[in-house]
Amino acid sequence: MIMRKVGYILVWLMTFALLGCSATEGDGGRDNVDNVVARVDKRCLMREDVARDMPEGLVGVDSVTFVRMYVDNWVLSQLKMRRAEEVLSSFEEDIERLVEGYRQSLIMRQLDQYYVDHAIDVEITDKQLSAYYRANSASFKLDHNMVRGVIVKAPRTFRNTTTLSTALKGVAKSGTTEEVAAIVEKHKLLLTDYTPAWVSYSDFLSNLPTERSRSYVDLLDKTGVQQMTTDDALFYFIIVDVARKGEVAPLECVEADIRRRLYAERRSEIVGGYEADLKREAVEAGRVMIKDTVLLNAMSYRGVETQSDVEVHEATESFDEAVVEEKIEE
């Protein structure tokens, strides 16, 4: 595949000749010059570089278009970097510092992920879900009403209303909609089943002929089969369960959120654990020197009960204050 890509680039190179790009230091002489696709000052773009970044499956005109756009972008990037060196020389130190900081953050993020991938347990049991839900129920308050229920739409000519109503009442008792589904299929009615999962009350009402000026909150208090009509249709519905605004959301509604939280907590524990090990091992090996003995002791902390998280936090704060005072004295 790489050879095919190089072949496309060779075809493109045959349309023009590159002049004045000398071989780079430590290259293979003439062969290396022949591999040059573009040059800006003393910087050369090699054929292998373009081939490496070319997407799979490009052929013919598409491959030529890609190479031309790639080369155009590369040339512009080199020119902009050269101009930046000229006009931003006074900011060079700041830019290098920012680039190095970003580079380090990317590397550390990859290192964190390495430890997470090798240690995290992604399985979350129902027991763990329930325990977290109970312990953090205050953070799962609803900001809107939610319901579970069933809606059946029938034509105005539908006559088996008693049978349908009885079947809908049975949903609340049995928890299944099999009987309702059988009636719907037999008479070619329209069924909207919201019993398997909770849905916002507004979404439930969107299937009914409601008026925007009304809230219909009063319907939440009714437990039986309810009905709405239009000129050409009948709507029979029953609300099986209600979770009101301000109440704790049902577990099913927040299960995905809890899983994300538990994963984040486990990830944080893994990262925090290996970071603590890194610092402790480095202190024990004499690789770290800090004048603040409290902070140094906190770094070598092994989880002994005599050392608390509060003390570690205070040690960090005292270290920061000492640094500030030292800079002021300077």
CB 224 within 8 A of CB 171: no
Residue by residue, pLDDT tens for the chain (330 residues) are 555 555 555 555 544 444 445 444 444 444 566 788 899 998 899 988 888 888 887 777 888 888 889 899 999 999 998 888 888 877 777 888 888 999 999 999 999 999 999 999 989 999 999 999 999 999 999 999 999 999 999 999 999 999 999 999 999 888 899 999 999 999 999 999 999 999 999 999 999 999 988 989 999 999 899 999 999 999 999 999 999 999 999 999 999 999 999 999 999 999 999 999 999 999 989 888 888 888 888 888 776 444 444 444 554 455 454 444 444 444
Phi, psi of 168 (to 5 degrees): -65, -40
DSSP symbols for 78-116: HHHHHHHHHH-GGGHHHHHHHHHHHHHHHHHHHHHHHHH
Cα separation of 87 and 276, whole Å?
44
CA distances to 32, 35, 187, 207, 236 from 67, in Å: 19, 14, 63, 53, 63
> If you ran DSSP here, which 8-state letter would residue 219 be given?
G
- Angle ∠(207,172,201) on CA atoms, nearest 5: 30
Q: How confident is the model at residue 57, as a pLDDT? A: 77
The pairing of strands 190-193 and 199-200 is unpaired
Which pLDDT score is estimated for 84?
84
State whether residue 215 is helix, strand or coil. Answer: coil
Sign of CA dihedral 310, 311, 317, 321: positive
Task: Give CA torsion, residues 95, 96, 100, 103, to 10 deg.
Answer: 60
Residue 57 falls in which region: left (phi positive, over 0), alpha (psi -120 to 50) or beta? left
Predicted pLDDT of residue 310:
46
Residue 324 backbone phi and psi in degrees, to 5: -60, -45
Q: 3-state SS of 2-24?
A: HHHHHHHHHHHHCCCCCCCCCCC
Dist CA 322 CA 299 (whole Å): 17
pLDDT of residue 305: 43
Q: What is the pLDDT of residue 147?
A: 97
Residue 129 near residue 259, CB atoms below 8 Å? yes
Contact call for residues 236 and 164 (beta carbons, < 8 A): yes
- Distance between CA 124 and CA 112 in Å, rounded? 21
Q: Determine the residue type at 318.
A: S
CA dihedral sign, ordered 315, 321, 323, 329: negative
Tokens at residue 157, please?
């000519």
Give the residues across from 147 on adjacent strands: 199, 242
Q: How far apart are CA 58 and CA 55, in angstroms?
A: 6
Residue 8 confidence (pLDDT): 54
